[in-house]
Amino acid sequence: MVSNTVLTTGLLLILTGLWGVLTHRNILRIIIGFSLIGTGTHIVAVAIGYVKNGTAPIIDRVLNMSEAPSRAVDPVPSALVVTAIVIGMAVTAIMLAYTIRLYDSKKTLSIDAFTESKW
Amino acid sequence: MTHRIFVVIAIVLFGIVFGSVATSYTEQHSLRPLAEGYVKLVPQKLGAPNVITGILLTYRAFDTLGEVAVLFMVGAGVVLVLSAGRRPRAAAHSPEDPRPSSEIVQTGAQVLSPLVAIFAAYIIMNGHLSAGGGFQGGAVIASCVLLVLLAYPQYQLNIEFLSITESVAGALFVLAGIAGLILAGGFLDNRILPLGQFGAFFSAGAIPVLSILLGVKVGCELSVILDGFRPEPVGQKDKV
């Protein structure tokens, strides 16, 4: 039940981000849309790894080694999301760097001003 | 107007796909075989209580290495995109002497940045015992650097030092991997060092060492990226 809610939230975030990317004309808002898509994907991935009544896959006083396989959540999506967050941040940095250069060339942040590569 | 219609159609189609995913999803009641293998193997074979760190720094450590390479490329790319042929912005936009940050920000940075740095070290060093690890700690280091840069806009980071530290950490990471090929089961195997007592601070073989190297590398790379976004200081001409 928990993961259903989380999964729906993540999917709605992806949709919101997609809508933002497609409708807004300001490049910074488009980048925020891409960030929302990325965050939604991370939430969806973590939600898919949830196991009913599971806990974090860290062996300590609460979770001993013998019962871990039956009570821990899936560690693979969590490990993937750790790397995906870092890569998402890197992609955002590159997008922002290009935005600064685009602003330098046309003195505007509107995507409508950049018509050279439009088909 | 037609643009709007296409946007609505695309969103609705994606919504249908996502809706069918959300409605047909059922919670798992047990782990998949791969995940079950990791949950069993990481504490037993690697001696690391945190299964996720065990996956990131031993079983899939090669991916982690590739990922820090991606981060390095992004750092180089940001510096390349922002520095080549760029006019000094200080002359065009801001006055000669930019306004210093307020006293609240400066005092906050002075009080918080040592604490944040200690917290980063804690996160990195306990990556094999509790939630944390090299990536997370490296990001916290970078947030500390960002705080200092916000409080003291004129502060010059020593980019050469950061680059050399980052290269050394990367080289040591690869050397630890090659040592795994020779001394243990394969590339980046953590059993080149004794596993120690399960749950102790010095345990889990090479995982804490790899964690430190990863944290240092990620922290340096993110700091270089942050520095790349700052406008060029007054008086410094283009170095093209």
Mean pLDDT value across chain A? 87
Please indicate, yes or no, if residue B93 is contained in any of the structural domains: no
Predicted confidence (pLDDT) at residue B238 exceeds the cutoff of 50: no
Here the tokens at position A62 are: 């609460």
Res A10: pLDDT: 92
Is residue B4 exposed (0-12), middle (13-18) or buried (19+ Cβ within 10 Å)? exposed
Please indicate, yes or no, if residue B151 is contained in any of the structural domains: yes
3-state secondary structure at position B131? coil
CA atoms within 13 A on the CB side of A66: 0
**CA-CA distance, A4 to A48, in Å (whole number)?**
9
The band of A3, judged by pLDDT with boundaries at 50, 70 and 90, is: confident
Which chain A residues contact residue B7 at CB under 8 A?
Answer: 19, 22-23
What proportion of chain B, given as a percentage, has pLDDT over 90? 9
Give me the mean pLDDT over the B11-32 stretch.
87
Res A108: pLDDT: 83
Using CB atoms, which residue from B35, B81, B136 is nearest to A101?
Answer: B81
Res B209: pLDDT: 85
Predicted confidence (pLDDT) at residue B191 exceeds the cutoff of 80: no
Query: Are the C-beta atoms of B46 and B127 separated by less than 8 Å?
Result: no
Please indicate, yes or no, if residue B205 is contained in any of the structural domains: yes
Predicted confidence (pLDDT) at residue A14 exceeds the cutoff of 90: yes
Spell out the domains of chain A, with CATH numbers in brackets. Answer: 2-113 (1.10.287.3510)
Please indicate, yes or no, if residue B41 is contained in any of the structural domains: no
Res B26: pLDDT: 83
The residue length of chain B stands at 240
Res A72: pLDDT: 82
Is residue A36 exposed (0-12), middle (13-18) or buried (19+ Cβ within 10 Å)? buried
The band of B235, judged by pLDDT with boundaries at 50, 70 and 90, is: very low
Taking an 8 Å cut-off on Cβ atoms, the answer to whether A70 and B25 are in contact is no
The band of B119, judged by pLDDT with boundaries at 50, 70 and 90, is: very high
Residue of A nearest to B44 (CA): A65
User: Which residues form the domain of B104?
Assistant: 50-84+99-228
Query: How many domains does the structure of chain B reveal?
Result: 1
Candidates B8, B14, B18, B135: best to mutate against A (most CBs of A within 10 A) is B18
Taking an 8 Å cut-off on Cβ atoms, the answer to whether B49 and A76 are in contact is no
Give me the mean pLDDT over the B8-37 stretch.
87
Amino acid letter for position B143: S
Please indicate, yes or no, if residue B31 is contained in any of the structural domains: no
Residue of B nearest to A105 (CA): B86
Using CB atoms, which residue from B36, B60, B81 is nearest to A69?
Answer: B36
DSSP 8-state symbol, B125 = H
Using CB atoms, which residue from A52, A78, A97 is nearest to B52?
Answer: A78
DSSP 8-state symbol, B139 = H
DSSP 8-state symbol, B43 = I
Output B40 or B190, whichever has higher pLDDT: B40
DSSP 8-state symbol, B28 = B
Which chain A residues contact residue B63 at CB under 8 A?
Answer: 83
**CA-CA distance, A103 to A85, in Å (whole number)?**
27
Predicted confidence (pLDDT) at residue B170 exceeds the cutoff of 90: no
The region of weakest confidence among A115-119, B32-36, B114-118, B153-157 is: A115-119
Size of interface A-B (CB pairs under 8 A): 145
Q: Give the residue among B167, B7, B204, B141 at the shortest CA–CA distance from B76.
A: B167
Please indicate, yes or no, if residue B172 is contained in any of the structural domains: yes
Is residue A43 exposed (0-12), middle (13-18) or buried (19+ Cβ within 10 Å)? buried
Measured N-to-C along each axis, helices B207-228 and B103-125 cross at an angle, to the nearest 10 degrees, of: 150
Taking an 8 Å cut-off on Cβ atoms, the answer to whether B14 and A18 are in contact is yes
pLDDT in tens, A41-93: 999 999 988 888 888 888 877 777 777 777 888 888 888 898 888 888 888 99
Res B43: pLDDT: 79
Res A104: pLDDT: 84
Taking an 8 Å cut-off on Cβ atoms, the answer to whether A59 and B43 are in contact is yes
**CA-CA distance, A61 to A54, in Å (whole number)?**
15
Candidates B14, B21, B27, B129: best to mutate against A (most CBs of A within 10 A) is B27
Which chain B residues contact residue A49 at CB under 8 A?
Answer: 35
3-state secondary structure at position B195? coil
CA A96 to chain centre: 17
What is the gyration radius of the CA atoms in chain A, in angstroms?
20
- Please say whether the dihedral angle defined by the alpha carbons of residues B204, B169, A78 and B132, taken in this order, is positive or negative: positive
* Cβ within 8 Å of residue B159, ≥6 positions away: B224, B227
The band of A31, judged by pLDDT with boundaries at 50, 70 and 90, is: very high
Q: Looking at this predicted complex, what is its ipTM?
A: 0.80
- Please say whether the dihedral angle defined by the alpha carbons of residues B27, A82, A98 and B232, taken in this order, is positive or negative: positive
Give me the mean pLDDT over the B133-155 stretch.
86
Please indicate, yes or no, if residue B114 is contained in any of the structural domains: yes
The DSSP annotation for A5-55 comes to HHHHHHHHHHHHHHHHHHH--BHHHHHHHHHHHHHHHHHHHHHHT-BTT-B
Please indicate, yes or no, if residue B148 is contained in any of the structural domains: yes
Which of B 96-115 lie inside 8 A of A, CB atoms?
Answer: none
pLDDT in tens, B38-97: 888 887 777 788 888 888 888 888 888 888 888 888 888 888 888 766 655 544 455 555
Across B37-49, b (16+ Cβ under 10 Å) vs e yields ebbbebbebbbbb
Taking an 8 Å cut-off on Cβ atoms, the answer to whether A76 and B67 are in contact is no
